[in-house]
Structure 1
Amino acid sequence: MHVIAPSAFAQDVAVCGYPLSIFFIVVNEFCERFSYYGMRAVLVLYFKYFLRWDDDMSTSIYHTFVALCYLTPILGAIVADSWLGKFKTIIYLSIVYTLGQVAMAVSAIHDITDTDKDGTPDDMTFHVVMSMVGLFLIALGTGGIKPCVAAFGGDQFSDSQEKQRRTFFSVFYLCINGGSLLSTIITPILRAQECGIHTKQSCYPLAFGVPAALMVVALVVFIVGSGMYYKAEPQGNIMMDVCRCIGFAIKNRYRHRSGRYPKRQHWMDWAEEKYDKLLIAQIKMVLKVLFLYIPLPMFWTLFDQKGALVIQPDQMQTVNPILILTLVPIMDSVIYPLIKKCGLNFTPLKRMTVGMFLAALAFVCAALVQVEIDKSLPTFPSASQSQLKLLNMGAEPLKVKLPDNVQLELPPNQASEQYLTFGEEEIIVSVESRVGVTRALFLTKGVRETLLLPANISSEWLLTEDVKAKPQQGNNAVRFINGMLTGVNVSIAGAEPTLLEPEYYSNYSQIKTGITTFTIRSGSESCDYRREFGFGSSYTFLIHSTFKFGPSCHESISAVEDIKPNSVHMALQIPQYFFITAGEVMFSVTGLEFSYSQAPSNMKAVLQAGWLLTVAIGNFIVLIVAELAKIPEQWAEYVLFASLLIAVCFFFSIMAYFYTYMDPAEIEAQFKKNVDDDKDDRALKQKMNFAKDSVESDDEKDENKQTQL
């Protein structure tokens, strides 16, 4: 192996027992992960609310992007181990990565002022193209460097620093989640800022621009440490050699399939006629680990759906990295040593098995929480149904008669308690107060509507289309109905006022959780109405027909709750986050170190890529199962995935039981020694044959002389 040695200063300097170069690598990883997870935290929101894609399209593109991020490590590993080396691969692909982040920030620069007839911005083509180019470059960059950085960090340790190398992978994972934690908190805050020249919009350029800046920092930090790194040069096109060797072994085995030829201990031994035994031994090591990885994608299928477990708000996702930052040192310093003191051999594969089981347990908890959530959710109309609520806008009580002999009594300025469901498109409604009025109503299928009954029921009745899904992102949907005979201006939290016509209603506005102040004005008079909101609710506020400005004006406003706020406490999610995080620590951190420790010296990055490939396959399984299963109930989907993972966990435990741990360095040294011994034996035989030939030659000369005499 050709090696570019670090400077003498870097060789001698160590901090806390670690090579100084490690600190540049972990800072680089922290910044890079901040960049990646920061961009990813708002990506689906960008698809839905900026590019205006629907949920299915947004989710499909998101999972395809994540899967691509875990497919490209194979390319990065091949380039690093066979051509450029890990150091140059990280540098070049980080530049590609940075360009992708910049492209995403540029794609979000747009001040929407004009829309076409269907309400979609009419110039989205440029932004879609730029964002897709940006995502492709990011997938190529982050995926390409992913197997290289971990393996490059492991290369910095000498053989006498095996303990520090094992700890490094835990520290490395802490940096990943430290960057993830900060970015998941900060990036949504940046997105929530308003920016735009003509209109006020969510600030996606800032939300993508800061991760782009962090990627520049990551690249600069890594380059600064250049003189301190141990840089192992690539050993030729190792992947091509591996593929050819495997192909020859298969072809040779097929050619000699008859029983006349002696059996080989391993099918790769059929390549010994052409290829070096050391290469064959290295391939055996890699194939042995890759075979063990076959069941692992199922873990990532569950893990990459943990975002779906979030109720509200979206920053609840920060629980995962916070728990990781807590659990990793606890596991390394307390749990694992304690298990060892108890006399139990808690091997890496046993840890990974327990991690898979904990992940399955997390989804069982998620299913139980989802059942509680479903109990609190309203029942929305199907495509063949209509739902109707009635609102009395007058100061007199009303008696209402509906189909199927349904009778209601509506107090003044109040609505019916719940929506009524109808299968017919046309219904007859009779309303009685001082006079009686009967009319036919034409309802819309699949829609919730409210019938506004004015103070004078003989005048026109209005049907309003209501919210038919819970508001997203933890927001609340609110609207106002003016029951007076004069117009008023309504403004929300100091925003521009909206003129509300007499006995008419406003469009819905999105309100964040907390206390919000609504201001109602007419001429020089005003009224401030304050209300506290939870998460995911919808309200209709009725301004009474008898409304008067003054200190008690808020008493003349009725709140009609169309959709209840979330009643399931977010704390119920903590157990599932604890289990999924504990499972991740035991599975992912251990797997990262296991992949490095079991890989031959010339294929460290390749095996890291194999480990990351399981993540990509897991994301594809999400898309396939979600498409094929079509399970209407979310809790049932959680139970399905948990059951699949438990089954996979069982098979993996059997495979792990029969796995024999390897020391690649020792195996390689043994083969190299055998090669050297073979060379020595051949040299000795050549010397002995030469000496024998010399003796025989002398004997022949003596015989010839004797014959002549």
Structure 2
Amino acid sequence: MSTTTADHGRMPRQISYIIGNEACERFSFYGMRNILVPFLISSVLLAYLPEGAARDTAAKDIFHTFVIGVYFFPLLGGWLADRFFGKYNTILWFSLVYCAGHACLAMFENNATGFYTGLFLIALGSGGIKPLVVSFCGDQFDQSNKSKARLVFDAFYWIINFGSFFASLLAPLFLRHWGPAVAFGIPGVLMFIATFVFWLGRRHYVNVPPSGNDPNGFLAVVKTALRARAPGQGRPGYVVAVLGVALAVAMLLLWALSVAGLAPSWWPDFGFVITACLALGVVIALGGWGASLQLERARGAHPDAAVDGVRAVLRILIVFALVTPFWSLFDQKASTWIIQGREMVIPHASAWWPSWLIKDAAQMQALNPLLVMLLIPFNNIVLYPLLRRMGFQVTALRRMGWGIAISGVSWIVAGALQLWLDGGQQVSLAWQSLPYLLLTFGEVLVSATALEFAYSQAPHAMKGVIMAFWYLTSTFGSLWVLLTNFGIRNEAVLGRIADTGLSENAFLMFFFAGFAFVAALAFAAYARRYPMQDNYRAAA
């Protein structure tokens, strides 16, 4: 496979293959994702549960468990690409796994083992390529044409939503009229096309070789810092890191004991997914904190650039952690908001409503990618230049902080609609357009900005892994949803919710809105002292 250099100052022609691949892959992913909850609610897979709240909750749990997997496996994909196989090979192989997962969904709609195997394979394949496609796109640029990269990152996010729009609009119709085999099969065909288009560009890509076992890589520097001793000083960072590993192991052991019925009564039976995610979070949080306490001890054993690079990654991880509440709100548009929409009235009698097309509450999700395609050019052409002329500096971190806060406002509006429904009123599905507009505006400020932020801030040898950590923020976003759903199954908690006079659904909507506001304040406080980096490749 050839390694070419980017044309100076020009848009690399190989970008068209990457963008084409992404458009088809996003149709594939969102096509199945956006019909997953309505399919599960009405399928034989959950027929053992009574219709209503129990089945809705089970469908939400399955959906968010799937999302956790999708955004956990980027760790594996990023590690394999950076360490062994390179981005191109890793993307291609995981794409084939992805195709196999779609085939399972289409063939095993009534078989729980086959269907859930398909979900696992899609989570593995989609997650495996997720941190690499954006990073691989960034590799096609250098210092001479990095201004074009900033345009491509926006275009990249725009094309993601182009595929998502048609998937969100059409997949519920496929499910309604032709059944799950066709509705899940069509996304599978699109994923095969995506893989083929990516393969077609193989002779044109810039292929940055994997770093291999880098003696000055992120983990190598962290290990040196934690193990190093300083005369007359203890090893507080090492103690903190070891404590994190010990707590994680203890959590997993308690989960194993709970499976055997031997766990102590004070340990909540979270299940494996929640427990494993909490254990991972503890290792990352305490391991990162411990490394930061002793990082300067790695100087001398490693080049200053490597130590500074690790310091930059640790700072980025704090930014990422503060973004996780946004994803807990955003991903529920495909679960909680669909369930709310099913309680609403579709205004077919209104002349302005496109009754010939919109026949299902799940199709309201098409508003999200449609609005993204409109808001990205609006922000870049109108809003940001206007703010600059007014004297406001529109930095990446400020955009992300405001995006988190605006997503909280969207859930205040959704909660108000739920109060309307709880009061026995007939509520038009059209009202959901307002929270979708606010949530999408928040998404553009957070997610589209973060694609460039994550790539530009990551040191060269760690770009794949840092992108994997970015996608891991969605795993923890869905973790907060699962933890909340677990918490409200407690009779005491339900009693306190009842005392507020709110329904369970309305209470949770306002709860998540408050969660976002607190996160936005914490994000703003940290962003004020974050030192921005520029880690694009040097011009060839």
TM-score when normalising by structure 1:
0.60
Aligned to 1:633: 504
Shift of 1:266: 7.0
CA distance in 2, matches of 1:62, 1:239: 40
Per the alignment, do residues 45 and 367 of structure 1 end up closer, same or farther by CA in structure 2, a change over 3 Å counting?
closer
Mapped partners of 2:234, 2:192: distance in 1: 60
Change (3 A) 1:81 1:13: same
Q: Hey, what's the Cα distance between the residues in 1 that align with 2:473 and 2:65?
A: 14
CA 1:256/1:606 → structure 2, altered by over 3 Å: closer, same or farther?
farther
CA distance in 1, matches of 2:91, 2:164: 20
8 Å contact kept, 1:4–1:233: no
Give the Cα–Cα distance (whole angstroms) in 1 for the partners of residues 444 and 105 of structure 2.
31
Q: Is the alpha carbon distance of 1:178 and 1:158 closer, same or farther for their aligned partners in structure 2, counting shifts above 3 Å?
A: same
CA contact (8 A) 2:292 2:314 kept: no
Q: Are residues 1:48 and 2:41 paired?
A: yes
Q: Percent identity?
A: 34
Q: 1:648 aligns with which of 505, 514, 519?
A: 519
Residues 107, 181 of structure 2: 8 Å contact kept: yes
Query: Do structure 1's residue 204 and structure 2's residue 180 form an aligned pair?
Result: yes
1:107 aligns with 2:108: yes
Q: Quick one: distance in 1 between partners of 2:7 and 2:460? A: 24
The whole-number CA distance in structure 2 between the counterparts of 1:322 and 1:132 is 30
Give the C-alpha shift of residue 90 in structure 1.
0.5
Return 236-245 or 321-330, whichever deviates more. Answer: 236-245
Q: Tell which structure's C-alpha radius of gyration is larger.
A: 1
CA contact (8 A) 2:8 2:144 kept: no
Pair 1:146 & 2:130 matched:
yes
Contact 1:38/1:187 (8 A) holds in 2: yes
Mapped contact 2:2–2:203 kept (Cα < 8 A) = no
1:584 paired residue number: 443
- Contact persistence 1:81–1:237 (CA under 8 A): no
Displacement after TM superposition at 1:585 (Å): 0.2
Partner of 1:157, secondary structure, is: coil
Which of 79, 90, 113 in structure 2 is aligned with 1:129?
113
Q: Following TM superposition, by how much is the alpha carbon of 1:314 offset from its aligned partner in structure 2, in angstroms?
A: 2.1
Alignment match, 2:454: 595
Tell me: CA distance 1:145–1:130, structure 2 relative to 1, closer, same or farther (3 Å): same
Q: 2:456–2:536: 8 Å Cα contact kept in structure 1?
A: no
CA distance in 1, matches of 2:385, 2:322: 28
Q: 2:377 aligns with which of 324, 329, 351?
A: 329
Contact 2:218–2:462, Cα closer than 8 Å, also in 1 = no
The reply to whether residue 248 of structure 1 matches residue 276 of structure 2 is no
Q: For residue 665 of structure 1, report the CA deviation from its aligned partner.
A: 5.3
* Residue matched to 1:350: 398
Select the residue among 149, 158, 161 that pairs with 2:142.
158
SS in 1 for 2:161: helix
**Larger displacement relative to structure 2 (585-594 or 334-343):** 334-343
Counterpart position of 1:26? 19
Inter-partner Cα distance in structure 1 for 2:511 and 2:517: 10
CA deviation string 1:310-356 (max 9, x = no partner): 42422112111111111011111211122122222111000001101
**In structure 1, distance between residues paired with 2:2 and 2:296:** 34
Aligned counterparts of 1:287 and 1:4: Cα–Cα separation in 2 = 34
Whether the aligned pair in 2 keeps the contact of 1:156 and 1:229 (CA below 8 Å) is yes
Structure 2 vs 1, CA of residues 256 and 210 (structure 1 numbering), >3 Å: closer, same or farther?
Answer: farther
List gaps (5 residues or longer) in structure 2.
47-54, 236-290, 343-360, 489-493, 498-502
Q: Measure the CA separation in 1 of the matches of 2:33 and 2:484.
A: 23
| Conserved 8 A contact 1:93-1:141 | yes
Q: Distance in 2 between matches of 1:619 and 1:85?
A: 29
User: Contact 2:292–2:311 (CA<8 Å) still a contact in 1?
Assistant: no
Structure 1: gaps spanning 5 or more residues: 109-123, 195-202, 378-566, 670-709
| Aligned partner letter, 1:304 | D
Task: Name the CA distance, whole Å, in 2 between partners of 1:253 and 1:64.
Answer: 42
| Aligned equivalent of 2:470 | 611
What is the rounded CA distance, in whole Å, between the counterparts of 2:17 and 2:326 in structure 1?
31
Size of the aligned set, in residue pairs, is 443
320-329 vs 52-61, which moves further: 52-61
> Residues of 2 paired with 1:607 and 1:137: CA distance?
23
Taking a change above 3 Å as real, the CA distance of residues 286 and 105 of structure 1, as seen in their structure-2 partners, is same
The CA deviation string for residues 247-297 of structure 1, in whole angstroms up to 9 with x for no partner, is 2212215775169xxxx9973120124223332222111111112222211
| Distance in 2 separating the partners of 1:27 and 1:337 | 30
Distance across 1 between alignment mates of 2:8 and 2:174: 40
**Which residue of structure 2 lines up, in the alignment, with residue 38 of structure 1?**
31
Work out the CA distance in 1 between the residues paired with 2:317 and 2:363.
36
Q: Which range moved further: 275-284 or 592-601?
A: 275-284
Q: TM-score, normalised by structure 2?
A: 0.78
TM-superposition CA deviations, 1:128-162 (whole Å, max 9, x none) = 11112111111111001000000000111121212
Alpha carbons of 1:95 and 1:341: their partners in 2 closer, same or farther (altered >3 Å)? same
Deviations 1:458-504 (A, max 9, x none): xxxxxxxxxxxxxxxxxxxxxxxxxxxxxxxxxxxxxxxxxxxxxxx
- Give SS of 1:295's match: helix
Counterpart residue number, 2:364: 316
Task: Tell me by how many angstroms 1:573 deviates.
Answer: 1.9
8 A Cα contact 2:328 2:480, kept in partner: yes
Task: Give the aligned residue type for 1:95.
Answer: L
Q: How does 1:166-565 map to 2 (within 5 A)?
A: 166-194=150-178, 203-238=179-214, 241-253=217-229, 257=233, 267-307=294-334, 308-310=336-338, 311-312=341-342, 313-376=361-424
Contact 2:216 2:306 in 1 (8 A): no
Q: Check whether the contact 2:82–2:464 (CA below 8 A) recurs between aligned residues.
A: yes
Report the CA distance shift for 1:367/1:55 in structure 2 as closer, same or farther (over 3 A): closer
Paired residue secondary structure (1:70): helix
CA distance, structure 2, for counterparts of residue 342 and residue 192 of structure 1: 50
The 1-side partners of 2:119 and 2:184 are apart by: 12
1:356–1:649 Cα contact (<8 Å) kept: yes
From the superposition, tell whether residues 301 and 12 of structure 1 become closer, same or farther in structure 2 (CA, over 3 Å): closer
Checking the alignment, whether the CA contact within 8 Å between 1:29 and 1:175 is kept in structure 2 is: yes
Q: Note the aligned Cα RMSD (angstroms).
A: 2.4
Inter-partner Cα distance in structure 2 for 1:145 and 1:129: 24
Q: 1:296 to 1:238 in 2, by over 3 A?
A: farther
- Secondary structure of the 2:394 match is coil
The structure-2 alpha-carbon separation of the partners of 1:375 and 1:240, relative to structure 1 and needing over 3 Å to count, comes to farther
Question: Residues 54-93 of structure 1: matches in 2 within 5 Å?
Answer: 54-93=55-94
1:27 positional shift: 0.8
Q: 1:239 to 1:624 in 2, by over 3 A?
A: farther
- The answer on whether the counterparts of 1:34 and 1:211 sit within 8 Å (CA) in structure 2 is yes
**Which structure has greater strand proportion?**
1
Going from structure 1 to structure 2, the CA distance change for 1:376 and 1:216 (only over 3 Å counts) comes to same
The separation in 2 between residues aligned to 1:581 and 1:240, in whole angstroms, is 40
CA distance in 2, matches of 1:255, 1:182: 63
Offset of residue 57 of structure 1: 2.5
Q: Distance in 1 between matches of 2:100 and 2:393?
A: 47
| Aligned residue in 2 for 1:5 | 3
Structure with a larger share of its residues in helix: 2
User: Which structure would you say has the larger RCO, counting Cα contacts within 8 Å and 6 or more residues apart?
Assistant: 2
